[in-house]
C-alpha cells in the first residue's frame, strides 16, 4: 500500500519544479519587449500604423504586459476644434506609461513627445488653408504642453498635464 502512494507522490513532487518553472516563464515578458515598444513609439507613419494595428488586436500582445490604458488628451480636448487628436494622444499615453513602467522614461521622453507631434502633424495634413493653419497651431500647442508639463505621473504614470 505504501508503494502505491509513494510512487504517485514522488512523481508529483518531482514534477512540481517543472510546473513552477513553466508558470514563471509564461508570465515573463518576451525578450523582445523593448524592441517592440521602441518600434511602436517612433516618429514615422509606419510606427504609428503598426501601433494602431497592435492596439486593435491587444489580445495578441497579452504576454508582453503592455499598458494600453489611456485618458487620451488628459484635461485637454481630445478633438479640439474638430481635429481628431484622440488616437495620437492614446499612443503618447502608451509610450509614457510603458517607458515609465520599464524605468526608461527620461531616456525616451523627448522622442515620445516628438512622435506625438509627428502624429498630430499627420492629422493636420488632411486639412488645407485656414483649417490646416489652425490645426498646425493647435498641434504645436499640444506638443509644447507635453514637452514642458509631460512629466507628471498622474493616472498610472502616463498622463500628461496639459495634453
Residue 144 annotated as catalytic? no
pLDDT single digits (tens) 112-128: 999 999 999 999 999 99
**35 membership: H or E segment, kind and range:** helix 33-39
Question: Using H for helix, E for strand and C for coil, what is the string for 47-86?
Answer: HHHHHHHHHHCHHHHHHHCCCCCCCCCCCCCCCHHHCCCH
Q: Does domain 29-157 have CATH number 3.50.50.60?
A: no
pLDDT single digits (tens) 76-115: 999 999 999 999 999 999 999 999 999 999 999 999 999 9
Q: What is the dihedral of CA 51, 156, 158, 35, to 10 degrees?
A: -40
Strand ranges (E), the chain: none
Task: Give the integer Cα–Cα distance in Å for 43 and 26.
Answer: 32
- C-alpha grid cell, residue 13: 513532487
Is the pLDDT score of 21 beyond 70?
A: no
Q: Which of 91, 92, 100, 109 is catalytic?
A: 92
Domain ranges of the chain: 29-157
CA–chain centroid gap for 69, Å, is 8
Is the pLDDT score of 16 beyond 80?
A: no
Percent of the chain at pLDDT exceeding 90:
73
pLDDT single digits (tens) 23-79: 334 468 899 999 999 999 999 999 999 999 999 999 999 999 999 999 999 999 999
Q: pTM for this structure?
A: 0.78
Is the pLDDT score of 19 beyond 70?
A: no
Q: Assess contact for 83 and 124: CB atoms under 8 A.
A: yes
Task: Give the integer Cα–Cα distance in Å for 97 and 146.
Answer: 14
Amino acid at each position: 500500500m505504501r508503494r502505491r502512494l509513494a510512487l504517485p507522490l514522488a512523481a508529483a513532487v518531482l514534477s512540481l519544479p517543472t510546473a513552477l518553472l513553466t508558470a514563471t516563464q509564461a508570465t515573463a515578458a518576451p525578450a523582445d519587449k523593448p524592441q517592440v515598444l521602441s518600434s511602436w513609439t517612433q516618429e514615422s507613419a509606419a510606427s504609428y500604423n503598426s501601433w494602431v494595428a497592435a492596439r486593435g488586436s491587444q489580445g495578441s500582445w497579452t504576454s508582453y504586459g503592455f499598458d494600453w490604458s489611456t485618458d487620451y488628451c488628459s484635461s485637454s480636448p481630445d478633438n479640439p476644434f474638430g481635429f481628431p487628436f484622440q488616437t495620437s494622444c492614446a499612443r503618447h499615453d502608451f509610450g509614457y506609461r510603458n517607458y515609465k513602467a520599464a524605468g526608461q522614461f527620461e531616456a525616451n521622453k523627448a522622442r515620445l513627445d516628438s512622435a506625438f507631434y509627428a502624429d498630430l502633424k499627420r492629422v493636420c495634413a488632411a486639412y488645407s488653408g485656414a483649417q490646416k493653419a489652425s490645426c498646425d497651431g493647435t498641434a504645436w500647442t499640444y506638443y509644447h504642453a507635453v514637452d514642458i508639463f509631460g512629466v507628471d505621473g498622474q493616472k498610472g504614470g502616463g498622463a500628461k498635464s496639459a495634453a
